[in-house]
Amino acid sequence: MSANDVVVTGIGLVSSLGEGADRHWQVLSAPGAKPVIEADRFMPYTVHPLPEIDWSLQIPKRGDQRQMETWQRLGTYTAGLALDDAGIKGDEALLATMDMIVAAGGGERDSAVDQGILDAGRTRNDRELLLNEKLTTELRPTLFLAQLSNLLAGNISIVHKVTGSSRTFMGEEGAGVAAVETAAARIRAGQSSHALVGGAFQTEHPDMLLGYELGGLLHRKRWKSVWKRASNDGGSVITGSGAAFLVLESRAHAEARGRNAYAVIDRIESGRARREQGNLSEAISGLVRALEAPKGRLLALSGASGAHAATGAERSALSAAGDFAVRGFSSLTGHMKEAQFPFAVALAALAIHNGAPYPAFDPENEATAEGAPQAALATAVGYRRFEGAALVAKA
């Protein structure tokens, strides 16, 4: 035990299952949890939609809400949930010295303008002139400024007054891994005492689904768990709107302000395997073994996306690296891209804090787990690149 141990003192979660750490624990800890899906709006693709959210509960000013697109509102709202949960919301002294590390994507395009340009391009050959016309009449500079990736962190600073250092990572699941890994490393090194870290993803937007589909990644048939999606189902990724933010602190800082921790992040390992060489499974096994997890059956919160190669490699790696009761939570939340790894860490911390494992989300493909977990694995293996794993333990 060290004064610079990295402890989780606040959790903010939003997914199709609801909002808040308690809500997610209630749903996921009950046997037979069912996914919330939308299969008609983006047919032939299925998504896990956002629940109804009263944004004013965490973003009180209407002006702040209006100038954010949904993904920024979602991230800012969920960050507020984490700050509330940690007892930091409104504490100006703590917020002024709080570091922030955000995993973010590239924002949402104006799909109406995109469609207008494509439609006009079908009837005109002077497309260079057409684009110049649209640039001056349709494309608002303020729209693009509002979509900058680091504006999520900016909006969190504005709304919640988190004004310490700020960093933003981009790069799908890897961004979420890097965000948590960097925050934890800074706390262990004594460079930071408390940090807000997490990410958000809004899939209910045509350009977000287009990015996945251009890569041949989207599942095209009825919903199945991540472990059951076959090659004839398409790319087998079902996306979900959601966000996860964590408040991480040094043990000494948390104890000094009288806060109990959900769990401690013992170790984090990450890598970028050369997947074209066919060694992904071995690389993931190496990451997991490097965590030096305790012997015996261990709960594993897997961020597996369903993508064939990555999900198959992770399943094989976990079978080779130890005895894991794997829980593929994307079956119930959908794949949340940058938020995937923070979400996995949050679910692991909740199981440890509540002293009970999650029942199998897919009983046919996930092993049982018994007793109060003293530690749990959290993983995120990118559908294209980047692999990460964390060992979360009792604090």
Q: Are residues 166 and 309 in the same domain?
A: yes
Number of structural domains found in the chain: 2
Q: Are residues 167 and 92 in the same domain?
A: yes
Q: Quick check: is 1 in a domain?
A: no
* Residue range 84-105, pLDDT digits in tens: 999 999 999 999 999 999 998 8
Give residue 271's pLDDT: 92
Q: Are residues 204 and 238 in the same domain?
A: yes
What's the one-letter identity of residue 359? P
Give residue 221's pLDDT: 85
Q: Are residues 101 and 205 in the same domain?
A: yes
Q: Quick check: is 318 in a domain?
A: yes
Q: Which two tokens stand for residue 6?
A: 């990295």
Q: Are residues 96 and 117 in the same domain?
A: no
Q: Are residues 132 and 46 in the same domain?
A: no
Q: Are residues 245 and 300 in the same domain?
A: yes
Q: Are residues 168 and 270 in the same domain?
A: yes
Q: Are residues 223 and 171 in the same domain?
A: yes
Q: H-helix or E-strand containing 208?
A: helix 206-214
What's the one-letter identity of residue 137? T
- The answer to whether 264 and 4 are in contact (CB under 8 A) is no
- Mean per-residue pLDDT for 98-116? 80
* Residue range 45-82, pLDDT digits in tens: 999 999 999 999 999 999 988 888 888 999 999 999 99
Give residue 376's pLDDT: 97
Q: Quick check: is 19 in a domain?
A: yes
* Residue range 194-246, pLDDT digits in tens: 999 999 999 998 878 888 888 899 999 899 999 999 888 888 999 999 999 99
Boundaries of domain holding 36:
6-109+147-393
* Domain edge (last residue) among 139, 155, 188: 139
Q: Quick check: is 247 in a domain?
A: yes
Could you give the CA distance from residue 145 to residue 162 in angstroms, rounded to a whole number?
21
Could you give the CA distance from residue 180 to residue 344 in angstroms, rounded to a whole number?
11
Could you give the CA distance from residue 260 to residue 86 in angstroms, rounded to a whole number?
9
63-84: burial string, b at 16+ Cβ within 10 Å, e else: ebbebbbbbbbbbbbbbbbbbb
Q: Are residues 165 and 177 in the same domain?
A: yes
DSSP 8-state secondary structure symbol assigned to residue 235? S
Q: Are residues 338 and 250 in the same domain?
A: yes
Q: Are residues 161 and 214 in the same domain?
A: yes
CATH of residue 71's domain is 3.40.47.10
- Mean per-residue pLDDT for 177-195? 97
What's the one-letter identity of residue 97? T
